[in-house]
Amino acid sequence: MITALMIHKKNQNPNMNKIILVLIFCFASVSSAFSQDSLRSLINSMLPVSPITITGYVDTYYSHDNDNSNTIERFPGVSPIRDEYRLNIAMLTARYSKENVRGNLTIQYGDMADVLYPSNQKLLPEANVGFSPWENVWIDAGYFFTHIGNESPRSIENVFSSYAMVSLYEPLPQAGAVISYSARRFNGAFWVVNGYSVLGDNNKNKSAGVSLTWWPYKNVSFAYNNLIGNESTDLGNGKLRYYNNFIIKAMLSDHWNLIVNNDFCFQENSKLDDPKSYGSMAGGFATLKYTFNDPKFSLAYRAEYFSDFDGILSPIYEITPTERTGLMCFGPSLAFEYRPMPNAYVRLEGRYLKTLRDLKIFSDDKDYRIDGSITMGVQF
Q: What radius of gyration, in Å, describes the C-alpha atoms of the chain? A: 26
168-179 pLDDT, tens digit each: 899 988 999 999
In this prediction the pTM is 0.84
Taking the C-alpha atoms of residue 91 and residue 59, their distance in angstroms, rounded to an integer, is: 9
195-208 pLDDT, tens digit each: 898 887 778 789 99
20 sits in which H/E element:
helix 14-33
Residues 296 and 338 sit within 8 Å (Cβ to Cβ): yes
Q: What is the mean pLDDT of residues 299-328?
A: 92
Q: Which of 13-22, 157-166, 280-289 has the lowest mean pLDDT?
A: 13-22
300 sits in which H/E element:
strand 297-307
Largest Cα separation within the chain, whole Å, is 103
Look at the alpha carbons of 61, 62, 64, 67 in this order and tell me if their dihedral is positive or negative. Answer: positive
Position 306 scores a pLDDT of 96
Q: Which residue has the higher pLDDT, 364 or 143?
A: 143
All domains of the chain, ordered by start, with CATH? Answer: 1-47 (no CATH), 48-379 (2.40.160.10)
Taking the C-alpha atoms of residue 337 and residue 344, their distance in angstroms, rounded to an integer, is: 10
Position 43 scores a pLDDT of 54
Look at the alpha carbons of 192, 196, 201, 202 in this order and tell me if their dihedral is positive or negative. Answer: negative
Position 143 scores a pLDDT of 94
Distances (CA, A) of 311 to 50, 125, 346: 49, 27, 36
DSSP annotation string for 140-155: EEEEEE-SSSS--SSG
Position 82 scores a pLDDT of 78
Taking the C-alpha atoms of residue 192 and residue 206, their distance in angstroms, rounded to an integer, is: 7
Residues 139 and 133 sit within 8 Å (Cβ to Cβ): yes
Please report, as a single letter, which amino acid is at residue 143: Y
pLDDT band at 191 (very low <50, low <70, confident <90, very high): very high
Q: In terms of Cα–Cα distance, which of 375, 343, 379 is closest to 111?
A: 375
Q: Which residue has the higher pLDDT, 159 or 10?
A: 159
Residue 114 phi/psi, 5-degree rounding, is: -70, -35
Q: Which residue has the higher pLDDT, 32 or 306?
A: 306
38-97 pLDDT, tens digit each: 655 665 566 578 899 999 999 999 988 887 755 444 455 555 677 889 999 999 999 999
Taking the C-alpha atoms of residue 201 and residue 195, their distance in angstroms, rounded to an integer, is: 6
Where would I find the H helices in 84-193? 111-116, 165-168
As beta bridge partners, residue 369 has: 353
Q: Burial, 244: exposed, middle or buried (Cβ in 10 Å; 0-12, 13-18, 19+)? A: middle
Q: Mean pLDDT of all residues in the chain?
A: 85
Q: Which of 41-45, 186-190, 213-217, 296-300 has the lowest mean pLDDT?
A: 41-45
When mean pLDDT is compared over 29-33, 41-45, 153-157, 335-339, the highest value belongs to 335-339
Taking the C-alpha atoms of residue 72 and residue 77, their distance in angstroms, rounded to an integer, is: 7
101-159 pLDDT, tens digit each: 999 999 999 988 887 787 777 899 999 999 999 999 999 999 999 999 999 989 999 99
Cα 225 off chain centre by: 15
